[in-house]
């Protein structure tokens, strides 16, 4: 399109209007209108910079809002849960509990394992927290057992966060021991070096080791204690620096064959001497090349495997971390021996990328739909281009703001931009309408742009401020929910503010050069003609129904009041939830057998459950982990990780698959299996078999476990809850050795000797280390497997003593005493000269063996005894009903005050947010009221605008109820957004009416009716644009749609009902408020300022209406700016002040109205009404 000539406004002549315009006209927009090239280049620069920022934005499912979490892990093989709690966990907790900014500390002590989880305040830097944790570990070192084979280690990882990548190593030719060695030596260290990785765990890690399997009877016959064997091996296998021999000409490195590296080498270790002959290890024990831990296993799709789980650090970007991992994996695969297969069996980034791509498509579709709406309502291609350019520019500029704010491309930020498409064009349309009004009055486009932009600038700023006011409360929300939605609010605010800037700069410049007045005889485009006929019919229907509503004001006021009451009732009654369950394509399952089950038994049961799961057609892969470790806290627990087929390749949702698998495994004997869907956001810090947890803490240890069991039983009977379980496991099988200390003392047996002997026999005690070039391997001492199958084997255990009983025997068979028949027999070894040098006393001589129970795990919260009761919500009930069920159960059992209960994880955040939701809505309403009060300089009219909000709320709540959806936090954000969108309709009407009263002296009744009719088109346009902008959120069914749908449903439902009601209730309430204001003025002599704010005052030379209804002061042309005085269309200009066009409060006046079937014929703007 060619630019204006020198003779036209905007030409290049000496008297060009551009130069004159800049001096003559003032305002924000004037410099940009006068400099089209500079303005265009600025817009292009912003667009290019934003495109660059978009390409650099990281991708994630949701904003990074993780708590800083550090976990401390300590291992002591052979120690039971109670021993771990006393010797390891408690000393560490005392030091760790003193770290500043620590918000919560919980611990689990189980067989050979202590795990302490530290959650810090959101503001705490995780690296600094890690340094404090290391200092606390060092401070506790003096209180820890000296025989710890591994020092405590910490990892910056949330244990409840599922792995971002799971790798399986399998082979037909390489043993699992070697695979474990490769994983532990080669893969895990290299993967841990990737930025963002918090912990790499090798599951089923059966590292090679040398196992010494001693025969206790043979040792006893020779008078050799197990401790003697341990000491001999430890002394025989050593390594260390030996120095250097340096002569005048040569130097020699000193070495020795001091380290034993093979099983055969250990067989020749001298344990003791008897009768001047050495007793070799092979004489009293079997030495095998075995495994360090024989009670762990892992499988992938039923095949034995070594599984590597990679977890991220809190706040690390999942997609970026996984991309870096995948870059180094090919090199690691090349380093593996032939025949080893490495598979990535789970990768969470697949669904995250698909979800982001889906919402990006939704965004593009929303943009297209909104532009179509603008074209239909504006009816000219040039005006649509001017308005439509705002959309991509505002959205792309928002990407730039997101990049500099450290945000990511995620579901919430892209949802914010999708919703923004429905109203970022409003500011541009306001500007275009005002410029077009001057063009139709005969002004040249450039002059029209100067005038129109000059008088509408403050209006656009006001509209933007009133819209973003609803987001202010979101910015001040505390906790993880506030962090989660802050990115949503700021992204949406960035798009809206950018649209305001574009409307004040680029839009008037383009309008000056693209808009023109319609030529005589010019035919409207076909799409405009096709749209106008039904629209005019709708307008006629609205005119008739509006007249009826204005004549039935009491009834309409009752309707308005009823909407408020019904909104409150619906809010109280609607089921409430926290966040919608996402279909991420991953499930986890926790299996649990009865306490005391053997490793072999649970391994076999787990294999059967795996086979059941793998038969499901929608399950792609199953990873199984058995044995105590970071995944399983107790010996009777196991873990399953399920990968589902991509969503496009299956018909069932993750929830349907979960229900199907739950039914398939429900009747499986001996093993309880609980499934849950992996979610992208993990709010809790503890692994759990279900989605929600309730923790009880006993301030008084006495009777705590009894109350915990009572509460669990009571909750299990409540039909609102399912899968109720507790981590309190105190019924594990145990053997209690009761020692008679008097007899033991007479026999010279010390408790230390007893403890050492039992640990050597049954604790898989790691007694020595073999140091390799890249790894270390352990030497494990135990009694032979035949002596570990039954408690009767304790009768074969002998303990060293220093005193010899009166009744002695050198026969080894005396060691076959049982727990039920204690004897005073002992075995004495003699030297060559016949002098006694040692005594082996049977355990049964001074002890009684009893069956007992013992805890499988000991749990603490803030160092107090604790139990976590996990549960899921039963079908047909919501989370708020489940929360009430817990409250009811506590009341029924009369839980004492010494036991304190609280929710953790998602349930805790939901419980806190439930109380804050009304306050958040109230804060948004108050903020809107204050902003509108400042803009209108009125206490009354902002209230009139706010009366539109209940109709939006009831529409949103009804839509959720009809579709069977919970009122989640996503839906709450939709409600808050509706406040910003719906009030625009009232602003459009009320501002026009106020302006008509001020500038033309119309009565309030006449002014509001005229406003309703003339503003019907822009009201419909903004509403339809917002509806279609939200529509793709509802109809989408791809990955992540579960999160987006509640937002779209609330916006569409709220807009539909509010559009229907506010078109009638707003004018009625306007008249009621105006009457109230007049009565207050008459009664108290108080009058609100009858002048508009500076931006609303008439232009110089225009008539000042003076007092309401009075004679105008001054003379001049018509027209003045209000908040939205010109938000109209060229075909619907201002009505002239003519009585027969207005609805009069009398039958005679009503009779003068046109027929409802007649189109609303309005005169051209420059011609008097006929």
Supply the pLDDT for residue 638: 93
CATH number reported for the structural domain that contains residue 277 in this entry: 3.30.2090.10
pLDDT per position as a tens digit, 756-799: 999 999 988 999 999 888 888 899 999 999 998 888 889 899 99
DSSP conformational letter for 967: B
Per the DSSP assignment, residues forming a β-bridge with 155 are 71
Q: What are phi and psi of 695, to 5 degrees?
A: -110, 130
Determine whether 282 is exposed, middle or buried from the number of CB atoms within 10 Å of its CB (0-12, 13-18, 19+): middle
pLDDT at 372 over 80: yes
Q: What percent of the chain has pLDDT over 70?
A: 86
Residue 300: pLDDT band by 50, 70, 90 thresholds? Answer: very high
Any idea what the Cα angle at residue 516 is, between residues 515 and 517, rounded to 5°?
140
| Mean of pLDDT values over 1145-1156 | 40
| Mean of pLDDT values over 277-297 | 91
Query: Are 191 and 163 within 8 A, CB to CB?
Result: no
pLDDT per position as a tens digit, 38-79: 999 999 999 999 999 998 988 888 888 778 999 999 999 889
Q: Which residue has the tokens 């290890």?
A: 281
> Of 314 and 1, which is predicted with more confidence?
314
| Mean of pLDDT values over 461-482 | 78
Among 137, 157, 177, the domain boundary falls at: 157
Domain contains 655: yes
| Mean of pLDDT values over 187-196 | 93
> Of 524 and 846, which is predicted with more confidence?
846
Supply the pLDDT for residue 808: 38
Domain contains 893: no
**Beta-carbon neighbour count of residue 748 at 10 Å?**
17
Structure tokens at 958: 């009804």
Supply the pLDDT for residue 20: 44
Query: Are 140 and 92 within 8 A, CB to CB?
Result: yes
377 and 490 inside one domain: yes
HSE-CB for 867 with a 13 A CA cutoff: 23
- Distance CA(512)–CA(17), nearest Å, equals 12
> Of 1032 and 95, which is predicted with more confidence?
95
Tell me if residue 216 falls in helix, strand or coil: helix
**Beta-carbon neighbour count of residue 528 at 10 Å?**
17
| Mean of pLDDT values over 988-994 | 81
| Mean of pLDDT values over 369-388 | 84
pLDDT at 291 over 60: yes
Query: Are 1024 and 375 within 8 A, CB to CB?
Result: no
Supply the pLDDT for residue 762: 92
Question: How would DSSP label each residue in 38-85?
Answer: HHHHHHHHHHHHHHHHHHH--B-SS------EEEEEEE-TT--HHHHI
pLDDT at 23 over 70: no
Handedness of CA 740, 746, 752, 754 (dihedral sign): negative
962 and 1027 inside one domain: yes
Determine whether 843 is exposed, middle or buried from the number of CB atoms within 10 Å of its CB (0-12, 13-18, 19+): buried
Residue 304: pLDDT band by 50, 70, 90 thresholds? Answer: very high
- Distance CA(630)–CA(632), nearest Å, equals 6
Determine whether 488 is exposed, middle or buried from the number of CB atoms within 10 Å of its CB (0-12, 13-18, 19+): buried
Residue 278: pLDDT band by 50, 70, 90 thresholds? Answer: very high
> Of 973 and 1098, which is predicted with more confidence?
973
Best CA proximity match to 502, nearest among 383, 367, 365, 386 = 386
Tell me if residue 119 falls in helix, strand or coil: strand
> Of 232 and 1079, which is predicted with more confidence?
232
pLDDT per position as a tens digit, 103-134: 999 999 999 999 999 999 988 999 999 999 99
Domain contains 1140: yes
How would you list the strands of the sheet with 306-312, edge to edge?
197-203, 306-312, 165-171, 340-347
Supply the pLDDT for residue 269: 94
Query: Are 387 and 39 within 8 A, CB to CB?
Result: no
* Average pLDDT taken over every residue of the chain: 82
Q: What are phi and psi of 779, to 5 degrees?
A: -110, 120
616 and 657 inside one domain: yes
Tell me if residue 125 falls in helix, strand or coil: coil
pLDDT at 806 over 50: no
Q: Which residue has the tokens 């989605």?
A: 691
Q: Which residues of 404-415 are buried (b: 16+ CB within 10 A; e: fewer)?
A: eeebbbbbbbbb
Range of the domain at 1068: 533-573+938-1086+1094-1159
Supply the pLDDT for residue 51: 92
> Which residues are within 8 A (CB) of 1018 and not within 5 positions of it... i.e. 6 or more apart?
377, 429, 433, 988, 1124, 1127, 1128, 1129
1018 and 1149 inside one domain: yes
Domain contains 330: no
> Which residues are within 8 A (CB) of 644 and not within 5 positions of it... i.e. 6 or more apart?
585, 586, 587, 618, 619, 620, 650, 654, 657
Among 789, 814, 848, the domain boundary falls at: 848
Number of domains comprising the chain: 5
596 and 652 inside one domain: yes
41 and 118 inside one domain: no
- Distance CA(908)–CA(67), nearest Å, equals 14
143 and 232 inside one domain: no
Tell me if residue 664 falls in helix, strand or coil: helix
Residue 581: pLDDT band by 50, 70, 90 thresholds? Answer: confident
CATH number reported for the structural domain that contains residue 671 in this entry: 3.30.70.1430
Which range, of 145-159, 446-460, 646-660, 882-896, averages the lowest pLDDT? 446-460
Domain contains 62: no
pLDDT at 1159 over 60: no
Supply the pLDDT for residue 779: 94
pLDDT per position as a tens digit, 1118-1143: 333 333 333 333 333 333 333 333 33
HSE-CB for 379 with a 13 A CA cutoff: 23
pLDDT per position as a tens digit, 469-478: 888 877 777 7
Domain contains 884: no
pTM of the model: 0.80
Per the DSSP assignment, residues forming a β-bridge with 346 are 166
- Distance CA(971)–CA(948), nearest Å, equals 19
CATH number reported for the structural domain that contains residue 400 in this entry: 1.20.1640.10
- Distance CA(854)–CA(706), nearest Å, equals 15
| Mean of pLDDT values over 217-228 | 92
Supply the pLDDT for residue 281: 94
> Of 507 and 1078, which is predicted with more confidence?
507
> Which residues are within 8 A (CB) of 1081 and not within 5 positions of it... i.e. 6 or more apart?
1087
Supply the pLDDT for residue 524: 63
Question: How would DSSP label each residue in 416-440?
Answer: HHHHHTTTTHHHHHHHHHHHHHHHH
> Which residues are within 8 A (CB) of 519 and not within 5 positions of it... i.e. 6 or more apart?
none
- Where are the alpha helices (H) located in 579-629, listed in sequence order? 599-614
| Mean of pLDDT values over 351-371 | 86
Structure tokens at 298: 């892992």
Supply the pLDDT for residue 862: 92
670 and 741 inside one domain: no
52 and 71 inside one domain: no
Residue 617: pLDDT band by 50, 70, 90 thresholds? Answer: very high
Supply the pLDDT for residue 163: 92
358 and 504 inside one domain: yes
pLDDT per position as a tens digit, 647-675: 888 889 999 999 999 999 988 888 999 99
132 and 94 inside one domain: yes
pLDDT at 1099 over 50: no
- Distance CA(987)–CA(593), nearest Å, equals 65
Domain contains 986: yes
363 and 509 inside one domain: yes
Domain contains 479: yes
């Amino acid at each position: 399109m060619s630019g204006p000539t020198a003779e036209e406004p905007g030409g290049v002549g000496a008297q060009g209007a551009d130069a004159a315009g800049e001096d003559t006209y003032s305002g924000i927009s004037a410099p940009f209108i006068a400099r089209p090239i500079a303005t265009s280049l600025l817009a292009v620069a912003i667009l290019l910079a934003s495109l660059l920022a978009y390409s650099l934005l990281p991708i994630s499912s949701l904003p990074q809002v993780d708590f800083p979490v550090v976990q401390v892990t300590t291992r002591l093989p052979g120690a039971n849960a109670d021993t771990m709690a006393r010797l390891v966990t408690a000393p560490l907790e005392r030091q760790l509990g003193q770290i500043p900014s620590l918000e919560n500390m919980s611990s689990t002590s189980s067989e050979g394992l202590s795990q302490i989880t530290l959650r810090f305040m959101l503001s705490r830097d995780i690296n600094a927290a890690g340094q404090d944790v290391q200092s606390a570990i060092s401070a506790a070192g003096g209180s820890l057992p000296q025989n710890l084979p591994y020092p405590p280690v910490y990892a910056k990882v949330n244990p409840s966060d599922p792995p971002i990548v799971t790798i399986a190593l399998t082979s037909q030719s390489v043993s699992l021991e070697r695979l474990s060695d490769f994983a532990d030596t080669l893969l895990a260290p290299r993967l841990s070096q990737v930025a963002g990785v918090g912990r790499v765990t090798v599951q089923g890690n059966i590292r090679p080791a040398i196992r010494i399997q001693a025969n206790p009877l043979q040792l006893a016959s020779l008078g050799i204690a197990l401790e003697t064997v341990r000491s001999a091996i430890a002394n025989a296998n050593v390594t260390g620096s030996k120095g250097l021999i340096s002569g005048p000409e040569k130097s020699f490195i000193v070495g020795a064959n001091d380290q034993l590296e093979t099983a055969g080498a250990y067989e020749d270790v001298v344990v003791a001497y008897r009768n001047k002959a050495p007793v070799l290890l092979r004489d009293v024990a079997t030495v095998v090349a075995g495994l360090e831990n024989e009670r762990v296993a892992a499988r992938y799709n039923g095949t034995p495997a070594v599984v590597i789980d990679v977890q991220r650090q809190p706040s690390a970007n999942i997609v970026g971390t996984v991309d870096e991992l995948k870059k180094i994996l090919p090199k690691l695969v090349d380093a593996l021996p032939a025949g080893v297969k490495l598979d990535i069996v789970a990768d969470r980034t697949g669904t995250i990328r698909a979800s982001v791509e889906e919402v990006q498509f939704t965004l593009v579709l929303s943009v297209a739909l909104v532009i179509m709406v603008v074209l239909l309502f504006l009816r000219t291609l040039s005006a649509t281009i001017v308005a439509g350019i705002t959309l991509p520019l505002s959205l792309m500029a928002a990407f730039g703001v997101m990049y500099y704010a450290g945000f990511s491309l995620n579901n919430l930020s892209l949802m914010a931009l999708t919703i923004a498409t429905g109203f970022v064009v409003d500011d541009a349309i306001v500007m275009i309408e005002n410029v077009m009004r001057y063009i139709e009055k005969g002004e040249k486009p450039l002059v029209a742009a100067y005038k129109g932009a000059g008088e509408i600038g403050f209006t656009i700023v006001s509209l933007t401020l009133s819209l973003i006011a609803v987001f202010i409360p979101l910015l001040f929300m505390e906790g993880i929910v506030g962090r989660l939605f802050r990115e949503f609010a700021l992204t949406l605010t960035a798009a809206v503010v950018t649209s305001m800037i574009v409307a004040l700069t680029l839009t008037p410049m383009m309008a000056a050069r693209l808009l023109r007045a319609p030529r005589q005889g010019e035919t409207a485009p076909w799409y405009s003609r096709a749209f106008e006929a039904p629209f005019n019919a709708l307008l006629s229907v609205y005119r008739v129904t509006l007249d009826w509503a204005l004549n039935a004001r009491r009834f309409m006021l009752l309707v308005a009041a009823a909407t408020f009451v019904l909104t409150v009732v619906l809010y109280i009654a609607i089921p409430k939830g926290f966040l919608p369950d996402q279909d991420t394509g991953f499930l986890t399952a926790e299996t649990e057998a009865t306490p005391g089950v053997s490793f072999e038994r649970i391994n076999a049961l787990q294999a059967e459950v795996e086979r059941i799961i793998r038969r499901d057609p929608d399950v792609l892969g199953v990873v199984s982990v058995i044995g105590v470790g970071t995944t399983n806290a107790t010996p009777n627990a196991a873990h399953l990780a399920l990968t589902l087929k991509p969503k496009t390749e299956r018909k069932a949702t993750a929830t349907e698959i979960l229900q199907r698998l739950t039914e398939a495994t429900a009747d499986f004997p001996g093993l309880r299996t609980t499934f849950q869907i992996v979610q992208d956001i993990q709010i809790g810090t503890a692994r759990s078999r279900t989605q929600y947890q309730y923790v009880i803490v006993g301030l008084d240890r006495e009777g705590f476990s009894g109350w915990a069991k009572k509460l669990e039983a009571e909750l299990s009977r409540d039909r609102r809850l399912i899968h109720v379980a507790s981590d309190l496991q105190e019924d594990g099988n145990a053997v209690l050795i009761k020692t008679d200390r008097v007899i033991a003392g007479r026999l010279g047996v010390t408790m230390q000797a007893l403890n050492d002997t039992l640990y050597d026999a049954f604790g898989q005690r790691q007694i020595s280390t073999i140091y390799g070039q890249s790894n270390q391997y352990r030497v494990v001492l135990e009694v032979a497997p035949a002596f570990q199958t039954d408690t009767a084997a304790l009768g074969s255990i002998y303990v060293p003593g220093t005193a010899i009983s009166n009744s002695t025997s050198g026969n080894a068979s005396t060691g076959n005493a049982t727990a039920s028949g204690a004897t005073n027999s002992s075995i004495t070894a003699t030297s060559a000269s016949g002098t006694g040098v040692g005594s082996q006393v049977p355990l049964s001589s001074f002890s009684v063996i009893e069956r007992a129970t013992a805890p499988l795990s000991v749990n603490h919260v803030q160092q107090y005894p604790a139990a976590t009761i996990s549960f899921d919500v039963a079908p047909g009930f919501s989370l708020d009903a489940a929360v009430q069920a817990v409250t009811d159960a506590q009341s029924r059992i009369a839980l004492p005050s010494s036991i304190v209960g609280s929710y953790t994880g998602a349930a805790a955040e939901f419980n806190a947010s439930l109380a804050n939701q009304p306050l958040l809505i109230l804060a948004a309403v108050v903020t809107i009221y204050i902003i509108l009060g400042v803009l209108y300089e009125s206490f009354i009219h902002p209230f009139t605008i706010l009366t539109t909000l209940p109709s939006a709320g009831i529409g949103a709540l009804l839509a959720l109820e009809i579709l069977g959806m919970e009122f989640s936090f996503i839906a709450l954000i939709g409600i808050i957004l509706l406040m910003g969108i719906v009030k625009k309709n009232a602003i459009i009407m009320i501002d026009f009416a106020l302006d008509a009263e001020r500038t033309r002296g119309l009565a309030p009744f006449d002014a509001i009716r005229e406003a309703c009719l003339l503003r019907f088109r822009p009201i419909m346009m903004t509403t339809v644009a917002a509806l279609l902008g939200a529509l793709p959120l509802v109809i989408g069914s791809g990955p992540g749609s579960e999160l987006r749908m509640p937002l779209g449903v609330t916006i569409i439902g709220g807009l539909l009902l509010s559009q229907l009601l506010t078109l009638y209730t707003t004018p009625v309430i306007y008249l009621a408020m105006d009457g109230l204001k007049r009565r207050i003025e008459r009664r108290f002599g108080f009058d609100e300022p009858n002048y508009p704010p500076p931006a609303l005052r008439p232009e110089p030379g225009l008539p000042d209406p003076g007092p309401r209804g009075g004679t105008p002061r001054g003379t001049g042309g018509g027209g003045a700016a209000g908040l939205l005085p010109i938000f109209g269309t060229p075909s619907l200009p201002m009505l002239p002040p003519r009585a027969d066009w207005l609805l009069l409060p009398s039958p005679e006046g009503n009779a003068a109205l046109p027929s409802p079937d007649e189109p609303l014929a309005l005169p051209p703007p420059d011609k008097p009404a006929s």
